[in-house]
Chains A and B, each alone.
Chain A
């Protein structure tokens, strides 16, 4: 599985905040994602009703997951394909490697797949002498830069044009140093030219899946670049990487969810390409692969069924929660330390890696609620982050100072008379010391606050004191 640095979230965040290039790259969410999504949602009067319908479809699937997965497999087999059930990342990597070896593969092309990231497939293939080539432009860029994606749908959103040009010049040995790469079209042309020969030469094509359709055994991808189609139709073998919650009952269900997916992700009504694959090439087909394999990955998801985290399995990876999250916008995706960043990652990562590794993520939220308000699948993300905090609290994983502070406060809060007394003393003392300036620049035990901002001083008496006095007078 992909190595995680989620336990270093605080340090990762500090590094991100101190990186001026990253901070600049993170400055465009309002225009590029938030405004576009809002316009797309406003143009569709039934958008919120579709969100309800999409939620209900996935809830139904999750209650009957075994049924729909078995039905999906039967249909894949009927169409001449094969389903590989993989309980964990190791099993999935081995299955892919085996298929590649059996096909005598030297290079594989890859469409964008978060499951590919989750199981660290590229590293595994490369270690066994098979060269993986990412064909999604963003994924291609980060592959050259040897780094993981920082966003679900815009994997290289943290990279600017100059850095892309540098990566191309370093990797493309015969690239004329005089050729300008300053503008996006030039970068695109360069990547396209490089990738064309790779598409044609690849022995195996690997894609992800946005949906698996139980009634037909089809897999569905949505892309904007068309790279997925070339990846899956040109090579002799097509491997689909999917986690098991991607299944939906019918084509109709997929189309319902597709209507909220692109609008939530990029503000498009539909992505440019929506591609359905059903089995390998049939006798009269003009093109298509000779073999069709679906890697069906569990990797901890079935453990979430029946728990307070089941709703997370409705997620369709649109990225809306990231785009609207002020914490994600402040630190970017890499700070989260694993494959899935932002609010969805703050719930999913502890589910898959354990709260010991990923305990920071559900804590690093103000519970502002913006993620839930835009989630097309109506996943109650803050509520589930709070559930993770409860698990941590039960296991005493929070820092000792925070736990003791909380216990002391709770002790007082449960004793109103004592609380009134303590509050009056605190208000009196802080009020007396703070009266001259009206605020504190620093204060013992309040360093977390006063490192960055002043602390307003209390007025000097508590409301309860003043209210009691007013009652006595009147």
Chain B
């Protein structure tokens, strides 16, 4: 690594790119606050996880190759998603296990790829933010971030530094919300049962805001809360930490 600011490539993720650019800009702001120079390689689409988890290794490998080529020149790769970061970190090396040329490149990228909050805290040493958020929030641990990347205490630590924010623990925070990528449309009845239990737990906390670090889970939970008529607002944790939570929450109408 050279002197000067750390060069971070933002892996926006396909869901943030399409549905909620605000999360991407919140990530950029936080990374800049942490002293990083942020770039966004244009040749990114998706991490390939939908193909990988559907058993389509050939497409998953082709997409992974594309990601490796677009991102390997940077000091770090950061994604506002434990799921996509986990795909690169934990599964890219597995995809190229039998490819002697690609395996070292996949490993090298995996080692430098982080979920946003884990990067800010564990790599950049951030322990507080300057944002303000007036409300009672509860936090759901999205599965990949929690179990593949060990993200548990970091987002809570940063949230506890947000002025005006009162944090309530969510019982069953480590239980899957039922999103599971294509699972939620392949097995909608089971997914519905799981997300229904998640929203019941959320509502019981009395919090007015639910936060998590993965947009897929957030859209699933927000959609269910709204279908059930609960007024709990749902946001990506980066929006609150970056002080960019003034606009409509996920699934809310623009003014």
Contact = CB atoms under 8 A, between A and B. Distances in A.
A452 B20 contact: no
Contacts of A464: 12, 17, 40, 42
B246 interface: no
Contact of A461 (B21, B53, B179, B223): B21
Contact of B184 (A394, A449, A467): A449
A438 interface: yes
A455 B195 contact: no
A209 to B, nearest CB: 33
Contacts of B248: 438
Interface in B12-36: 12, 14, 16-22, 24-25
Interface string A333-377: 000000000000000000000000000000111111110110000
Nearest to B17: A463
A461 B22 CA distance: 10
B147 interface: yes
Interface string B163-183: 000000000101110111111
Contact of A453 (B22, B59, B192): B192
A410 B66 CA distance: 12
Nearest to A466: B21
A464 B53 CA distance: 26
Contacts of A453: 192, 195, 220, 223-224, 226-227
Interface string B28-54: 000000000000101111101011111
Interface string A98-126: 00000000000000000000000000000
B189 A14 contact: yes
A459 B42 contact: no
Given A389-B54, A464-B42, A414 B59 contact: yes
A392 interface: yes
Interface residues of B, number: 70
If over half of B's interface residues share one DSSP class (helix, strand or loop), that class is named, otherwise mixed; here it is helix
A307 to B, nearest CB: 15
A462 B17 contact: yes
A394 B144 contact: no
A154 interface: no
A393 B182 CA distance: 15
Contacts of A406: 50-51, 54, 56, 59
A390 B55 CA distance: 4
If over half of A's interface residues share one DSSP class (helix, strand or loop), that class is named, otherwise mixed; here it is helix
A452 B226 contact: no
A454 B226 contact: yes
Given A410-B63, A423-B17, A439-B223, A369 B143 contact: yes
B187 A452 contact: no
Contact of B190 (A17, A413, A438, A441): A17
Nearest to A438: B253
Interface of B: 12, 14, 16-22, 24-25, 40, 42-46, 48, 50-57, 59, 62-63, 66, 94, 143-144, 147-148, 172, 174-176, 178-195, 219-220, 222-224, 226-227, 248, 250-254
17 contacts: A366-B180, A366-B183, A370-B174, A406-B51, A416-B45, A419-B45, A423-B17, A427-B18, A438-B252, A439-B223, A449-B185, A454-B226, A462-B21, A463-B24, A463-B40, A464-B42, A468-B42
Those 9 A-B pairs whose CB atoms lie nearest each other, nearest first: A366-B180, A448-B185, A389-B55, A393-B55, A453-B223, A368-B176, A456-B251, A438-B253, A463-B21
Given A409-B50, A448-B188, 17 more contacts: A14-B189, A326-B178, A366-B178, A369-B143, A370-B143, A373-B147, A402-B54, A406-B54, A410-B63, A413-B45, A414-B63, A420-B45, A439-B222, A441-B227, A453-B223, A456-B223, A464-B42
